[in-house]
A and B are shown apart, each in its own frame.
Chain A
C-alpha cells in the first residue's frame, strides 16, 4: 500500500503507522502489531483488558481479578453484553492485593478468595485473571487454580493476562486458552441435525437475539455463542457443533483453528452486520450444510427481512448520501464489515484505523477502501483529531474515549463498542445503525457548534439610531457560522 509520509504531524516514530491509500505502483506496508510507544498516548488497553472483554460475557462465571483494586474497579460491568440468564458476570470480584501480598506473595489469599467465592456464589466456573504485579511477584496461578479445582470440584481456570506481557491481542489469546479448558467437558444436548457456534459474538446490547432466531428458522441449532450470553454448560458442549462461524476474528480465530484441529470442526469468517454481510453469512451456512430446503429458507428470510427494513433504509440513506465516515475500531473484523455497511448507506469511508490490526488485515482494508483514505494503526487522540479535520469527516465510529474527541472537533459520533444500548446486528440491527447515523449526523446541534456570537462593538452607534427593543434582531444577525474548524 503506497503512502505519503508525514500526512499528519506526529512523532517521527509513529509515521510508519499512518498511510494514505493512493494509486501508485509498489507496495509499502503499514507498520502494525507492535507494542505502543511510550508517551504516544495510545488508545489501547492491556493484555488483561483483552482477556477480560473476551471472557466477561460468560454469564454464570465468577470473574476474579487477582491484583490491586484498580484493575477490577475500572472493569466492573464494562461490557454492554446482555444475559438471558444469570447475572454473575456483572459483579466485580477482586483479591484487592495489599502491600503485604506484594511482599510475601498472594497465593494464599487467592486460594482462600476462590474458596470463599465458590461457597457464596456457587458458580459453575471461576476465571482467575492475573494482572501486572502478579506477573512480577511470580504467584503460581496455575498451581493455585489446579488445587482449587480439585478442592471445589468445579473448573477454576487461570487466565494469563499480566497487563505488560504483550498487547490486547495477547489477552484475546489468553481468553481462548481459558475457553479451551472448558470446551468438550460435557456431553452435548443435540436437538438438530444442523449445529453451529457463533464464535466472536459478544451479545452487546442483545445482538445475538437478533441473529440466533435467523439460524433457528433455518432449523439450525446454535449450540453456543462465544462468549455473548454463554454459560459454562453451553461452552463445554460447543464441540458438538459441525460448523463454527467466526465474527470477531481478531479475538477468536485461534480458538476456531484449535477446534478444527481438535474436533475437526471447520470454520467460516462471517459478519452479521449490514445486509450484504449478513446475507452472505446465512447463505454460506446453508451452503455448508448442503440442504436445498435450508438454502430456500435462507433466501426466503433474506428477502422477507430486507423488504421489511428497506423502505426505512432508503429514506435514511437519502439523508446520509455522500457523508464522510471515520472508523476507529479495536479489531479489524469490525472495521472491515463497517466499510460495507457504510457503502450500503451511501456513505464513504475517509479514515480507517484499528488498535490491534495485523499485516493481513491492513492489506485487506487497503483493497476495500477508496484512494485518498487514510489507514492508521494504534492511533492517538492528536492524530485522530487532525485526521478528522484534514479528511473532513462528518462522523466517527469508535469507542467512548474517541466520542468526546469527535464531539470537540465538531464531528458526529456513533459508539460501536461496549457502550451502545441498541443492537446493530441482524436486519433490524442494521436499521438501528442507520437511525443512529442519521440522529448524529443530521442533528441541528452541529450548526450550533459551528456558530459564534460576535461582539457588537459598533452597536453603540446602531443602538443610538434605532428604537429601543429592536436590537435583539441585530444580535441574531450577528450569529456567525464558522466554516471548518481548525485543529
Chain B
C-alpha cells in the first residue's frame, strides 16, 4: 500500500452536517438551517439531489467575513426568521459547519435569545446539533441528530407520560427510502400497523411522488407527536450495531424503555434476527407471508449457490451496510476478501469477525476501516476481487481494474434508482442475490464469448494455413 501520512486522496467519508441533514429530512415538517457560510449547504444539496433525484432544500446562515469576525448571532437569527417566513416548518434543525464551530458561536445561547426575542418562534421546534467535521464524519452526524431530535421531543415536547404499547424503531445509519418502506411493511405484519414509531422515515421525503403540487416541504417523515411519545413505549429496537445508538441508549437509561440492538436486516441471518426479535416483542408467530418469503429466499440461495461459491468480493461503504453485505456474502459462500467500512466504529470489527469465524472460509478476509479510495484502490489490486459492492465512488477503481461494481449505499450519482434499491429483509436479500449473480453471469458470458471467438479464429487460421500460429492460441 502506498504510504501517505498527511493527505486524504479521494475521500470515502462526508462531513458531519450531511448525516445530520439526512436525519432531519426524515422528520415531519422539518427544515435544516446550516450555520456557516453558503458553500457547505449548497454542496450538500447537490450531493443529495444527485442521489435521490429530488429537490433538496437546506438553508444556510450565509456567514460572511463580518459574521466570521463578530460572531454569527445576527445571521443565525435572521436565517431562522427567514426560514420560518418562507417555509413554515414545524421543526428547524440547526446544524453547524466547521466555520461556525471554529469561530466559537454559542448556538445554544443564541437560540435562547432568539426564543425570547421572537414570539413567532413559539410554535417552532428549534433543535441544534453541533457537527464540526474536523471531528467525526457523516455517520456520527446522523446518530447525533437523531439523538438530539428524540431528546428534544421527549423532554420539551407535547407528550404526556402515559404508557403506550408501541415499539420504537430507531435507525443507526441512513437507509434507502425503499428499504424504509420494506422495514415498515415487516413491522406492520408483525407488530401491527400504527404500533411502532419509525425514526427517521425518509420514505416519502426523499422519494416524493409527483402530485401535481409543488410542496415547500415534502409531506411525510416521522410524525412529531409520535416522537414525543417515544419515552412511553414498551420497547425500542436500535437498527445497527457498529456504533452506539445514542437515542435508544438515552430512552433506555432515562425512561427505562428496554432496548434491543440488531444489525440492519441484510441477508438471511440478519433478517431472521429482526424477525425473531419482532415476533418475541409482539408475542406473535412469524406471519405466513414472511415464512413464505423466507422460503423463497432460501430457494433463491440454493438456485444460485454454485455461481456464488468462492466468488471474491470487496465490500465498502457505510459501516452498517457493509456489515450486512458481508453477512449476506458469507452465508452464500462468497469470499469477502476485502471489507472496508468508510469510517472507524467501535464494534464493526468484532461483529464482522464473529460472522467470519462462523464460516469455514478458504480465504483471507482483510478488514480496513476508514481508508480513502486511493488506499482502497491499492488493496483492491492486492486482493483481486471479482466483484465490488459499494457506492458510486468506487466506479474509478472499477473502470481501471475492470472489476464490475454493484452499486449500493450512498452516494449513487451515476445511475438511476438509488432511492429504490431494496436491500433489506428477505425480499431485499433476494434482490441482492439476483443482482450479484446476474453480474457474475454477464461477466462470464463476455469472457466465454471472447474465448470462443479466439478459438474460432484459431480454427479458421488452422484450416486456412494448415498451421496454428503461436500467438493465436487461447490462453
Contact = CB atoms under 8 A, between A and B. Distances in A.
Contacts of A146: none
Given A401-B49, A404-B49, A450-B212, A116 B5 contact: yes
Contacts of B212: 410, 449-450, 452, 482, 485-486
A221 B90 CA distance: 61
A95 B98 CA distance: 15
Interface in B3-40: 4-11, 13-18, 33, 36-40
A113 interface: yes
A136 interface: yes
B108 interface: no
Interface in A45-64: 45-49, 64
Interface stretch (A97-105, A172-180, A428-436): A97-105
B61 A409 contact: no
Interface in B96-139: 97-99, 102-103, 132-135, 137
Of B13, B33, B49, most buried by chain A (CB within 10 Å of CB) is B49
B133 A41 contact: no
Of B7, B102, B393, most buried by chain A (CB within 10 Å of CB) is B7
B134 A94 contact: no
A116 B6 contact: yes
A401 B78 CA distance: 24
Interface in B179-216: 208, 210, 212-214, 216
Contacts of A97: 134
Interface in B47-89: 47, 49-50, 53-65, 67-68, 75-76, 78-83, 85-87
A136 B76 CA distance: 18
Contacts of A42: 38, 42, 60, 62
Interface in A318-337: none
A382 B400 CA distance: 42
B9 A92 contact: yes
Contacts, number: 230
Contact of B86 (A10, A46, A93, A120): A10
Interface residues of B, number: 74
Contacts of A10: 86
* Chain A: interface size category: 35 or more
Contacts of B86: 10-11, 39-41, 382
Interface string B212-250: 111010000000000000000000000000000000000
B219 to A, nearest CB: 13
A452 B58 CA distance: 30
A132 B43 contact: no
A309 B441 CA distance: 43
Contacts of A35: 38, 62, 64
A48 B103 CA distance: 18
Nearest to B218: A408
Contacts of A49: 39, 42-43
Interface string A202-226: 0000000000000000000000000
Nearest to B8: A96
Given A109-B6, A400-B46, A486-B213, A39 B98 contact: no
A400 B50 contact: yes
Of B10, B67, B76, most buried by chain A (CB within 10 Å of CB) is B10
A113 B5 CA distance: 8
A96 B10 CA distance: 11
A405 interface: yes
B78 A37 contact: yes
A67 B61 CA distance: 20
A74 B14 contact: yes
A485 B211 CA distance: 9
Given A46-B39, A165-B65, A410-B212, A76 B82 contact: no
B43 A75 contact: yes
Given A74-B14, A74-B43, A403-B49, 17 more contacts: A11-B82, A11-B86, A39-B82, A39-B83, A49-B42, A71-B40, A94-B8, A99-B134, A132-B99, A164-B38, A164-B64, A164-B65, A400-B46, A404-B54, A405-B214, A408-B208, A485-B212
6 contacts: A39-B79, A46-B39, A68-B15, A68-B98, A75-B43, A485-B213
Interface of A: 10-11, 35-49, 64, 67-76, 78, 90-99, 101-102, 109, 112-113, 116-117, 120, 131-133, 135-137, 163-167, 381-382, 385, 389, 400-401, 403-405, 408-410, 449-450, 452, 482, 485-487
